[in-house]
Structure 1
Amino acid sequence: MNQNQDLKYWHAINKIEQIGPSRFKKLYNFFPSMELAFFADFKNLKKAGFSEKIADLFTDQRRGIDPDKEFERLLADQIEIITIKDKNYPKLLKEIYNPPALLYIRGNLKKQDEFAVAVVGTRKPSNYGRQVVPMIVQDLTENKITIVSGLAMGIDSLSQETCLASGGRTIAVLGSGVDNNSIYPRINYNLAQEIIENGALVSEYPPGTDPRKEHFPARNRIISGLCLGVLVIEAGESSGALITAHFALDQNREVFSTPGNIFSPNSFGTNNLIKKGAKLVTSSQDVLDELNLSLATEYVKTQSIIPDTPEEAEILKNLSHEPTHVDKIIKKTKLPVSKVNSTLSMMELKGKVKNLGNANYVLSH
Structure 2
Amino acid sequence: MEDEIKYWIAFGKNLKMGPVKFKKLYGYFSSMEKAWEAKDSELVKLGLESDLVAEISAMKKKINPDKELERLNKAGIQTISILDKKYPEKLKETYNPPALLYTKGNFTILNNEYLIAIVGTRKPTDYGRQITYEIANNLAKNEITIVSGMALGIDTQAHKGTLDSKGETIAVLGCGLDKPYPTSNSDLAKEIARNGCLISEYPLGTAALKQNFPARNRIISGLSLGVLVTEAGEESGALITARYALEQNREVFAIPGSIYNKNSLGPNNLIKLGAKLVTKASDILEELNLESAAENIKAKKIYPDTKEEAIILDILKDEPTHIDLIVEQSGLDAALVNSTLTMMEIKGKVKNIGQMNYIISR
**TM-score, scaled relative to structure 2:** 0.82
Correspondent of 2:273 among 254, 257, 276: 276
Are 2:24 and 2:46, in contact at CA under 8 Å, matched by a contact in 1? yes
Query: In the TM superposition, what whole-angstrom CA distance separates every residue of 1:196-225 from its partner, at most 9, and x where no partner exists?
Result: 111100001111111111100010000001
Which position in structure 2 is the counterpart of 1:184?
181
Which position in structure 2 is the counterpart of 1:359?
none
Q: What's the CA shift for 1:60? A: 2.5
Unaligned runs of 5+ in 1: 310-365
Which position in structure 2 is the counterpart of 1:337?
none
Which position in structure 1 is the counterpart of 2:146?
147
1:97 equivalent to 2:86? Answer no
1:294 counterpart SS class: coil
CA distance in 1, matches of 2:177, 2:113: 21
Give the greater-gyration-radius structure (CA): 1
Q: What's the CA shift for 1:308? A: 5.2
Q: What's the CA shift for 1:47? A: 2.7
**TM-score, scaled relative to structure 1:** 0.81
Correspondent of 1:245 among 242, 246, 266: 242
Q: What's the CA shift for 1:61? A: 2.5
Correspondent of 2:196 among 173, 178, 199: 199
CA distance in 2, matches of 1:295, 1:87: 27
Query: In the TM superposition, what whole-angstrom CA distance separates every residue of 1:20-66 from its partner, at most 9, and x where no partner exists?
Result: 01100110111111111112112211232213233223222332211
Unaligned runs of 5+ in 2: 307-362
Please, what is the CA RMSD of the aligned residues?
Answer: 1.4
Query: What percentage of residue pairs aligned between the two structures are identical?
Result: 55
Are 1:121 and 1:234, in contact at CA under 8 Å, matched by a contact in 2? yes
Q: Which amino acid aligns with 1:264?
A: N
Q: What's the CA shift for 1:131? A: 2.0
Q: What's the CA shift for 1:130? A: 1.8
CA distance in 1, matches of 2:104, 2:235: 31
Q: What's the CA shift for 1:307? A: 6.8
Which position in structure 2 is the counterpart of 1:115?
114
Which position in structure 2 is the counterpart of 1:38?
36
CA distance in 1, matches of 2:73, 2:63: 17
Are 2:15 and 2:202, in contact at CA under 8 Å, matched by a contact in 1? no
Are 1:151 and 1:157, in contact at CA under 8 Å, matched by a contact in 2? yes
CA distance in 1, matches of 2:145, 2:157: 14
Q: What's the CA shift for 1:70? A: 1.1
1:210-221 correspondence to structure 2 within 5 Å: 210-221=207-218
Are 1:114 and 1:227, in contact at CA under 8 Å, matched by a contact in 2? no
Correspondent of 2:74 among 73, 76, 93: 76
Which position in structure 1 is the counterpart of 2:297?
300
Are 2:133 and 2:160, in contact at CA under 8 Å, matched by a contact in 1? no
CA distance in 2, matches of 1:76, 1:56: 30
Which position in structure 2 is the counterpart of 1:352?
none
Correspondent of 1:12 among 10, 13, 19: 10
Q: Which amino acid aligns with 1:191?
A: L
Query: In the TM superposition, what whole-angstrom CA distance separates every residue of 1:223-247 from its partner, at most 9, and x where no partner exists?
Result: 0011000000000010111111011
1:110 counterpart SS class: helix
1:325-340 correspondence to structure 2 within 5 Å: none
Query: In the TM superposition, what whole-angstrom CA distance separates every residue of 1:85-121 from its partner, at most 9, and x where no partner exists?
Result: 1111111000110101111010013356231000000
Q: What's the CA shift for 1:142? A: 0.8
Query: In the TM superposition, what whole-angstrom CA distance separates every residue of 1:113-134 from its partner, at most 9, and x where no partner exists?
Result: 2310000001111011122112
Which position in structure 2 is the counterpart of 1:165?
164
Are 1:81 and 1:105, in contact at CA under 8 Å, matched by a contact in 2? yes
Q: Which amino acid aligns with 1:78?
A: G
CA distance in 2, matches of 1:287, 1:148: 14
Q: Which amino acid aligns with 1:130?
A: R
Which position in structure 2 is the counterpart of 1:358?
none
CA distance in 1, matches of 2:76, 2:25: 27
Which position in structure 2 is the counterpart of 1:265?
262
CA distance in 2, matches of 1:283, 1:158: 15
Which position in structure 2 is the counterpart of 1:132?
131
Q: Which moved more, 1:143-152 or 1:121-130?
A: 121-130
2:112 counterpart SS class: helix
CA distance in 1, matches of 2:112, 2:176: 21
1:174 equivalent to 2:173? Answer yes
Q: Which amino acid aligns with 1:236?
A: G
CA distance in 1, matches of 2:169, 2:58: 40
Tell me the number of residue pairs that the alignment of Structure 1 and Structure 2 aligns. Answer: 305
1:259 counterpart SS class: coil
